[in-house]
Amino acid sequence: MQEGKVKIAVDKREAGFAELLRGLGAEVEESTLSVADFVCSERVAVERKTRDDFEKSVMDMRLFEQLKRLCESYPRVLVVVEGEGSAGMLTKESLMGAYSSVLADFGASIFFTRNAEKTAELVFFIAKHEQLAEKKPMRVTGARKGLTLAQNQKAIIEMLPMIGPKIADSLLEHFGSVWGVFNASEEELLKVEGLGAKRARVIRNTIDGKYVKPASNSYE
């Protein structure tokens, strides 16, 4: 990373944000993040929700599972709710209850922005504060705290490309250990329900592929 340059990790599923952040002067690393939509430093992660997605994620409880994993991974978690006005799927009481849970149950912060441009500005200035003012290094993987053996095993499997919590559970249940997953052949991986040929191939390529050191180690 160049001296004085802000580095931000962006989940590649967050369409358009890499360009917005580069436009603000950030150096952007795009990848499929296991938790969070943006990582601003070793301690700060940001989860972005549109108004519509925020309310849907409250209804299906997805928000709270995401927050649990985020707060296990990073000391400082920010939920950004983007857009103006309620999506109308929740009553005011339910919506306020969800906001209260984010703050009180998980100890996360919540911030409201009008649009994607304002979200990008917020993420950029948080990263700038963390890296240039607080001298906090940029690392995608946060320091997980006090996890059980099963949680640590699941965290390792979720680091594989295209693997989320549900498939990680299925892999560990099927093979019995992290070692078992890593040593499974592509044909054996295909026996795991819901995995599919593409994921099986990517897993084996990731594990077996020869490491080639990048020209610049972004997170060191």
Looking at the fold, whether 155 and 113 belong to one and the same domain comes out as no
Does 122 reside within a domain?
A: yes
Looking at the fold, whether 27 and 65 belong to one and the same domain comes out as yes
Does 141 reside within a domain?
A: no
CATH number, domain containing residue 187: 1.10.150.20
Looking at the fold, whether 197 and 126 belong to one and the same domain comes out as no
Count of domains in the chain? 2
Per-position pLDDT tens, the chain of length 220: 445 689 999 998 998 999 999 999 999 998 888 889 999 998 899 999 999 999 999 999 999 989 988 988 888 999 999 998 776 888 999 999 999 999 999 999 999 999 999 999 999 999 999 999 888 777 666 555 555 788 778 878 878 888 877 788 899 999 999 999 999 999 999 999 989 999 899 999 999 988 887 654 443 3
Looking at the fold, whether 124 and 20 belong to one and the same domain comes out as yes
Domain span at residue 172 reads: 149-208
Answer yes or no: pTM beyond 0.75: no
What integer pLDDT is reported at residue 218 of this predicted model? Answer: 41
Q: How far apart are CA 39 and CA 42, in angstroms?
A: 8
Looking at the fold, whether 53 and 154 belong to one and the same domain comes out as no
Contacts of residue 64, defined as CB under 8 A and 6 or more positions apart, other chains included, come to 101, 105, 106
Looking at the fold, whether 68 and 114 belong to one and the same domain comes out as yes
What integer pLDDT is reported at residue 147 of this predicted model? Answer: 59
Looking at the fold, whether 59 and 84 belong to one and the same domain comes out as yes
Looking at the fold, whether 122 and 80 belong to one and the same domain comes out as yes
